[in-house]
Amino acid sequence: MQETDKIPVWFLRQAGRYQKEYMAIKEKYTLVEICKNPEVTAEVTMLPVNQFDVDTAIIFSDILIPLEPMGIEFDYIKGYGPKIFNPIRSVQDVENLKPIFPEKDLWYTGEAHKILASKLNIPCVGFVGAPFTLASYMIEGGPSKNYAIMKEFMYRENATWHKLMDKLATEMAVYCNYQVDCGAQVLQVFDSWVGALSREDYTTYVFPHMKKMMSLIRNHTDAPIINFGVGCYHFLDLQVETGTDVLGIDWKQDIFNTWEHKLDNKVAVQGNLDPTLLFAEWSLVEKRARAILEHVNRPGFIFNLGHGILPGTPVDNVKRLAELVHEYSPVGA
């Protein structure tokens, strides 16, 4: 953990549907078209950097984008979310998944990173979806409330499940390493839905694959890796053991007690203001943010939200929150 002269701050879903500038771009391009156009990707990525006083950018993309060259067909349906048209149902489906050659298949993300590296004076985060969260979409066919289809597959098709997870761990590591080679200085792994698992299931069905993915990345780069999930309090210690450098903490947990007692200060932490608080009056936002800052003001802490910024969030509250964090007393002062 490196000491800094101020508490770093950035926001999950930093660019997106809460910004009128982004919505203007979305009138011209679909989400996939934005992700596949390096110049537009860079433009969208830069929007919050130019608008707010944040300490890092995060490449604008989506966790499903690298699944297309693997052979997964999908689209984003308004009011529903991502829809997989050829969900995984058998061992043959898994065996048919293709390896990713990012220089050919995902060149547009690499080119966007190169453009951003020439424009930014702050780091840029590259990211991927974690194997479990990707598998949940691939098997369920889209979003799910209970993951019944995915869990049945996981329990009944044990060998096929591990084959799928192994492929995803390998390919997402390849994609991470490509992003670093193109200019990403930090990596984040989004495991948004893994909190749906028990500790035993995480240990059995996910942990070895996360450990493999982290190892493949670490063998290629020393760029810091952030591991983020929601509802993971019951196995945060196992997430640390995967080899991550930073653990994202959701808004449901006391970030100080989690860091001090559950994690024994073994990694840096990121979080964890409730994103819905940004809809409140500024006085309440400030009160809750200051409570976090006063509690966790020491090296190894990155101020962020406990999940992504929501559509409709008041932009002024986002701006004032970034300013508040930077105006707060420096670490160790």
Q: Which CATH number belongs to the domain containing residue 109 in this structure? A: 3.20.20.210
The pLDDT of residue 5 is: 67
Total number of domains constituting the chain: 1
What is residue 298's predicted lDDT score, i.e. its pLDDT?
Answer: 85
Residue 330 has pLDDT above 60, yes or no: no
**Residue 258 — φ and ψ, nearest 5°?**
-65, -45
In a domain, 191, yes or no: yes
pLDDT tens digits, one per residue of 262-310? 998 899 999 999 999 999 999 999 999 999 999 998 889 999 999 999 9
pTM of the model: 0.95
What tokens does 296 get?
Answer: 């966790």
- Averaged pLDDT of the chain: 95
| Angstrom distance (rounded) from CA 157 to CA 264 | 36
Contact at 8 Å (CB) between 87 and 141?
yes
Task: Tell me what the mean pLDDT of segment 131-158 comes to.
Answer: 96
Please check whether residue 5 lies inside any domain of the structure. Answer: no
Structure confidence by residue, pLDDT tens digits, 80-115: 889 999 999 999 999 999 999 999 999 999 999 999
Report the percent of the chain where pLDDT is more than 90.
92
Asked if the structure places residue 122 within a domain, the reply is yes
pLDDT above 60 for 331? no
* Position 1 confidence tier, pLDDT thresholds 50, 70, 90: very low
Q: pLDDT per residue over 77-88, tens digit each? A: 888 889 999 999
Inside any domain, residue 45: yes
Q: What is the pLDDT of residues 7-65, one digit of tens each?
A: 999 999 999 999 999 999 999 999 999 999 999 999 999 999 999 989 999 999 999 99
How far apart CA 219 and CA 132 sit, in angstroms, is 22
Q: Which residue has the higher pLDDT, 298 or 227?
A: 227
- Separation of alpha carbons 256 and 276, rounded Å: 20
In which domain, by residue range, is 122 found? 20-327
Residue 66 lies in a domain: yes
Mean pLDDT, range 135-151, rounded to an integer: 95
Tell me phi and psi for residue 10, to 5 degrees. -155, 175
Separation CA 121–CA 118 (nearest Å): 8
Asked whether residue 59 is assigned to any structural domain, the reply reads yes
Q: How many helices (H) and strands (E) does the chain have?
A: 15, 9
Does 4 reside within a domain? no
In a domain, 8, yes or no: no
pLDDT at 118 over 70: yes
pLDDT value of position 3: 55
